[in-house]
Structure 1
Amino acid sequence: MTFQRKDKQMAHPTDTNQYGDLKQLPQMMSNPHFESIGGEAQIIKLVDRFYQYMDTLPEASHIRAMHETDLSHTRQVLVKFLMEWLGGPKVYSAERGHPRLRQKHLHFSIGEAERDAWMLCMQRAMEDVVTDATLRRQLQQAFFKTADFIRNDKGSTNA
């Protein structure tokens, strides 16, 4: 699968791994798990735990360095994005427009190592916050597809 840009084509990384078939692009705003996860309150807890892990896990230090020191704004944006992505209120797009995740992350070098560090933080946060194992597994697959979609550096691998 390729993405068309006015100036060039970009290949999308496709393969299959432990998280599922990556040949399907993540379908934004089609995930119906907002209520299942516990609504906004649980999403706030998930985001808080996610950034706590990003702040404390040595494996995540390189992706933490990509962020501003004060994560207040970043946390708010991620909460709004996840609420909408999980099928909740469309606050993110009302305030910020279409997510354009890949485009918004192009100024960072994101390869497998960065994707995997992000996923480690999110997996740990989900283990702490999402009590339903089936839901956690579904979200893990969806998060991985999205995180892999954002990759823009095929040369970066796990260290």
Structure 2
Amino acid sequence: MKCKLLLAVSLVTVILYGCNKDEVKDVPANAPADQNASQQTGETPTDQMTFNFIEFSLDVDYSATESYEVEYEDKKTGIEAKLQDDRKNEKLQGDEAYTKLEPLFKQLNFDSTTPNDKVIDQVIKVFNIDDSFQSIEVDVEFVDGNEKEFKRIK
């Protein structure tokens, strides 16, 4: 019985450790601040935010086996970032992904009222997406709480 319990605890520990690999540990001083922390100081979230979003997801499909994916979340517990580019055989998580994504995110200036085509065009330009894509989808949660999905299918 103790052996099963020990095995179960070990397994849970390994799983939980694996889930945190994409967390950014070395957050730059100018990185987006946590919304709750800024509310406690009386500042508005946009005063502290480097980006106008707290979650950003990009999924570009080139074929059934080739895609480009970006995941970014600014959670209460910290920033998580992932980047996977099948064409360049690149898979980054945590600090490495954030370092590559931060300058790209700073170039994005759309908000929840920006038309779909303008958002997609901007993302294609900023992320240097090859024109041979089959579909592109961007999911964003903005600082103001609005969530929006932008899509283009060829």
- When normalised by structure 1's length, the TM-score is 0.26
Which of the pair is proportionally richer in helix? Answer: 1
Which of 1 and 2 has greater Rg?
2
Relative contact order, CA 8 A, sep 6+: which one is greater? Answer: 1
Which of the pair is proportionally richer in strand? Answer: 2
